[in-house]
C-alpha cells in the first residue's frame, strides 16, 4: 500500500521568500510587503452560518502568502506560483460584479469590493503562493481573499487590519468578492476564521444578525496538548463536485422554512427549541408544522447542529473528550442523513477513523467532497490516516492526504 501524503505548512519565512522571489521575477521590483492568511478547519457548527447560527473554527498553520505593491492607477496584475507565466490583468475602473473570470476574480474582487464600499484603494501588483490545498473544504478561497484584503489594508493604510472589530470591514470585502465577483456562495464562516482566530483557540462565531463585533466572537481555549487527543485533518481529494447549486439550494430551503415558521432565520427557531426543558420534543413540534420531508430534515440538521456547538465547547472545556467525540459523530451523521452534503469518500473516511478508534470523526466545511477531521488519541493520527488511505486504495478512490493541524494565528503581515 502507498504511504499517505502529508501536506506540511510553509513557515512564514519560506512563504515570504517564495512570494518575494516570484514578485521580483514577474514585475522586476521589490514588493511593498508580504502578508499571509490561513485556511481553516471548522470543528463543529456546519451549514449554520447563513442561518444566523454558531460555528467553531480554528485557523490552520497552512496559509496563503501574498507579496503586494500598490499602484497609482487602477490596473491590477496578479500571478501565482501554480503557473507563473500566466500573469492575469484587470482594470478596477468600470469593473462590475461578475466581470472577471478565473481565479483572478478572487483577489481583484476584493479591491473592487473595498472601492464599492467607499474605501480609497487603487490598483496593485501581487504574487501568491499557498499551501492550503485547493478544493479541500479548508477555505483556500478565503485564504486568498483575506490575504488580499489585509495586504490592501496595509498598502493603502486603511487601518482596519489592526483591530478585531476593524477586520469586519475586510471580512465583508472578502465575502463580497467571493459571492459577487467569483460567483461562489459563502456565508462568512471561512473569512471570519481566517481573519479573527487566535493561536491555541477555537473561535465561537455567532452569526445572529445585529451583533456587535465583540458579541459575535468568543475565543475558546483549544490547546490539544492539554488534553491528550490529536486533531487529524484529512483531505479526501474526492473529485470536485458541482456543489454550488446544491449549496444555494440548501440555503434557499432554510430561508423558506424560517419564513414558514414565522421566524427571521432558523437561529431564532433553534433558540426557542433549545430553551425548552425537553428540546427533542420541542423540535418534533416545530417539524410537525412543516409538511415537506426534505425541508424537515434540513431544519432538523440546522437546529440540532446549532445546539451541538455549545455542547462541544462545554465538553471540551471539561476535558470530556468522549462527549466531544460523540458530538463530532452526531454532527457528521446529521450532515450525511439530514443535510445530505456528504459523498462516499467523506463517509468512508469517517467510518474508518471511527473503526480505528477515533473518539469522533466528521466532515468539515461545505461538503460534497473536501476534508474530514477526527479527534484521535495521542500519536494515532498517522496510523489512522494510513488506514484511510489503504481503504481508499482498495476502493479505487483518489489518494487522500493528511495535514498536521493545530489552532494557529489569523491573517497577519509577514514583512
Ligand atoms: C462553506 C461556506 C461557509 C459555510 C460552510 C458550511 O465553507 O463557505 O460559509 O457555510 O460551507 O458550514
Closest Cα to residue 66, out of 148, 157, 131?
A: 148
Q: Do 401 and 6 touch, CB atoms closer than 8 A?
A: yes
The string of pLDDT tens digits covering residues 116-140 is 999 999 999 999 999 999 989 999 9
Beta pairing, strands 75-80 & 124-130: parallel
Q: Do 389 and 381 touch, CB atoms closer than 8 A?
A: no
Question: 159-187: buried (b, 16+ CB within 10 Å) or exposed (e) per residue?
Answer: ebbeeeeebbbbbbbbbbbbbbbbebbbb
DSSP letters along 229-282, please? -EEEEEE--PPPP--HHHHHHHHHHHHHHHHHTT-SSHHHHHHHHHTSSSHHHH
pLDDT tier, 241 (very low <50, low <70, confident <90, very high otherwise):
low
Q: What pLDDT score was predicted for residue 226? A: 66
Q: Which three cell numbers stand for residue 305?
A: 447542529
Q: What pLDDT score was predicted for residue 62? A: 98
| Mean pLDDT across the chain | 97
Q: Which three cell numbers stand for residue 221?
A: 481555549
Provide the 3-class DSSP secondary structure of residue 152.
helix
Asked if pLDDT for residue 393 goes beyond 80, the answer is: yes
Mention every residue, 6+ apart, whose C-beta is less than 8 A from residue 211: none
Q: What pLDDT score was predicted for residue 358? A: 98
Provide the 3-class DSSP secondary structure of residue 101.
coil
Mention every residue, 6+ apart, whose C-beta is less than 8 A from residue 277: none
Q: What's the mean pLDDT in 12-22?
A: 98
278 is annotated as an active-site residue: no
pLDDT tier, 227 (very low <50, low <70, confident <90, very high otherwise):
low
Which atom of ligand 1 sits closest to the CA of residue 48? 12
Taking CA atoms only, the protein residue closest to ligand 1 atom 2 is: 186
| Active-site residue identified among 12, 153, 190, 206 | 190
Provide the 3-class DSSP secondary structure of residue 121.
coil
Asked if pLDDT for residue 15 goes beyond 90, the answer is: yes
pLDDT tier, 281 (very low <50, low <70, confident <90, very high otherwise):
very high
Taking CA atoms only, the protein residue closest to ligand 1 atom 9 is: 187
Which atom of ligand 1 sits closest to the CA of residue 188? 9
Q: What's the mean pLDDT in 59-68?
A: 98
Q: What pLDDT score was predicted for residue 179? A: 96
Provide the 3-class DSSP secondary structure of residue 203.
strand
Asked if pLDDT for residue 242 goes beyond 60, the answer is: no
Q: What pLDDT score was predicted for residue 169? A: 98
DSSP state of 408: B
Q: What pLDDT score was predicted for residue 303? A: 98
* pTM for this model (two decimals): 0.97
Pocket test for ligand 1, best of 186, 335, 346, 363 (most atoms within 8 A of CB): 186
Q: Do 274 and 307 touch, CB atoms closer than 8 A?
A: yes
* 326 vs 333: CA distance, rounded Å: 11
Phi, psi of 279 (to 5 degrees): -60, -35
Which atom of ligand 1 sits closest to the CA of residue 55? 12
Beta pairing, strands 360-364 & 230-235: unpaired
Cα(146) to centroid(ligand 1), Å: 15
Taking CA atoms only, the protein residue closest to ligand 1 atom 8 is: 186
Of the listed ranges 220-234, 279-293, 350-364, the one predicted with least confidence = 220-234
Q: What's the mean pLDDT in 211-228?
A: 90
The string of pLDDT tens digits covering residues 302-327 is 999 999 999 999 999 999 999 999 99
Which atom of ligand 1 sits closest to the CA of residue 185? 8
Q: What is the share, in percent, of the chain residues with pLDDT greater than 70?
A: 98
CA atoms within 13 A on the CB side of 332: 27
Q: What pLDDT score was predicted for residue 239? A: 80
The string of pLDDT tens digits covering residues 138-185 is 999 999 999 999 999 999 999 999 999 999 999 999 999 999 999 999
The string of pLDDT tens digits covering residues 247-276 is 999 999 999 999 999 999 999 999 999 999
* 220 vs 202: CA distance, rounded Å: 5
Asked if pLDDT for residue 287 goes beyond 90, the answer is: yes
Closest Cα to residue 305, out of 134, 166, 214, 189?
A: 189
Quickly count helices (H) and strands (E) in the chain.
Answer: 13, 14
Asked if pLDDT for residue 385 goes beyond 60, the answer is: yes
Q: What's the mean pLDDT in 367-374?
A: 96
- Report CA torsion sign: 298, 193, 366, 102: positive
Cα(93) to centroid(ligand 1), Å: 31
- Rg of the chain over Cα atoms, rounded to whole angstroms, equals 21
First vs last C-alpha separation in the chain: 43
Residues with CB under 6 A from ligand 1: 42, 46-47, 49-50, 186-190, 365-366
Amino acid at each position: 500500500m502507498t504511504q499517505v501524503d502529508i501536506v506540511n505548512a510553509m513557515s512564514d519565512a519560506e512563504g515570504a521568500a517564495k512570494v518575494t522571489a516570484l514578485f521580483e521575477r514577474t514585475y522586476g521590483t521589490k514588493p511593498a510587503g508580504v502578508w499571509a492568511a490561513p485556511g481553516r478547519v471548522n470543528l463543529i457548527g456546519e451549514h449554520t452560518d447563513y442561518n444566523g447560527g454558531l460555528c467553531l473554527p480554528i485557523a490552520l498553520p497552512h496559509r496563503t502568502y501574498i507579496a503586494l505593491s500598490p499602484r497609482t492607477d487602477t490596473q491590477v496584475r496578479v500571478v501565482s506560483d501554480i503557473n507563473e507565466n500566466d500573469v492575469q490583468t484587470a482594470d478596477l475602473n468600470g469593473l462590475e460584479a461578475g466581470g472577471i473570470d478565473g481565479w483572478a476574480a478572487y483577489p481583484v474582487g476584493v479591491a473592487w469590493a473595498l472601492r464599492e464600499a467607499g474605501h480609497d484603494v487603487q490598483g496593485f501588483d501581487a504574487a501568491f503562493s499557498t499551501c492550503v490545498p485547493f478544493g479541500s473544504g479548508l477555505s483556500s478561497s478565503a485564504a486568498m481573499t483575506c490575504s488580499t484584503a489585509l495586504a490592501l489594508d496595509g498598502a493603502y493604510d486603511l487601518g482596519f487590519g489592526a483591530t478585531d472589530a476593524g477586520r469586519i470591514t475586510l471580512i465583508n470585502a472578502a465575502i463580497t468578492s467571493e459571492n459577487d465577483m467569483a460567483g461562489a456562495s459563502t456565508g462568512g464562516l471561512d473569512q471570519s476564521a481566517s481573519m479573527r482566530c487566535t493561536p491555541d483557540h477555537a473561535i465561537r462565531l455567532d452569526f445572529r444578525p445585529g451583533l456587535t463585533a465583540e458579541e459575535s466572537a468568543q475565543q475558546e481555549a483549544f490547546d490539544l496538548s492539554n488534553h491528550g487527543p490529536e486533531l487529524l485533518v484529512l483531505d479526501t481529494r474526492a473529485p470536485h463536485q458541482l456543489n454550488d447549486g446544491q449549496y444555494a439550494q440548501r440555503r434557499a430551503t432554510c430561508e423558506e422554512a424560517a419564513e414558514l415558521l414565522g421566524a427571521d432565520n432558523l437561529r431564532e427557531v433553534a433558540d426557542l427549541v433549545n430553551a425548552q426543558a425537553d428540546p427533542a420534543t420541542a423540535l418534533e413540534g416545530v417539524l410537525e408544522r412543516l409538511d415537506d420531508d426534505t425541508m424537515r430534515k434540513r431544519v432538523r440538521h440546522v437546529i440540532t447542529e446549532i445546539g451541538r456547538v455549545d455542547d462541544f465547547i462545554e465538553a471540551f472545556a471539561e476535558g470530556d473528550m468522549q462527549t466531544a467525540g460523540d458530538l463530532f459523530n452526531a454532527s457528521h451523521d446529521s450532515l450525511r442523513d439530514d443535510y445530505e452534503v456528504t459523498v462516499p469518500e467523506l463517509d468512508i473516511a469517517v467510518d474508518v477513523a471511527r473503526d480505528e478508534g477515533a473518539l469522533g470523526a466528521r466532515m468539515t466545511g461545505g461538503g460534497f467532497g473536501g476534508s474530514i477531521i477526527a479527534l484521535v488519541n495521542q500519536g494515532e493520527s498517522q496510523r489512522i490516516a494510513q488506514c484511510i488511505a489503504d481503504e481508499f486504495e482498495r476502493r479505487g478512490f483518489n489518494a487522500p492526504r493528511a495535514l498536521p493541524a493545530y489552532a494557529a494565528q489569523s491573517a497577519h503581515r509577514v514583512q
